[in-house]
Amino acid sequence: MDEKIKRINELYHKSQAEGLSAEEKDEQARLRKEYINSVKANLRSQLNNINIQNEDGSVINLGKEHAE
């Protein structure tokens, strides 16, 4: 993933300096989408590990609650 992040940053800086070709724009969009999906999956897995106990004693798992 570090290599992909590095490449995303390289493409961003190149786009600001001189612009991107059509292939590079496609690559940038694909890499950004992969990165966002990775972040979302990581967040979901973290939420699955968090339980909150309500005042009435019931327990809510944040991962299951936000999956809906």
Task: Specify whether the CB–CB gap between 11 and 24 falls below 8 A.
Answer: yes
Residue 33 is which amino acid? Answer: K
Residue with tokens 């590079």: 24
Tokens at residue 17, please?
A: 């300096």
- Residue from 27, 29, 48, 25 nearest 37 by CA: 29
Tokens at residue 6, please?
A: 């590095």
What does the domain layout of the chain look like in residue ranges? 2-67
10-residue mean pLDDT profile of the chain (68 residues): values are 91 92 94 94 86 88 71
- Residue from 24, 20, 25, 62 nearest 45 by CA: 62
pLDDT at position 26 is: 95
pTM, full prediction: 0.69
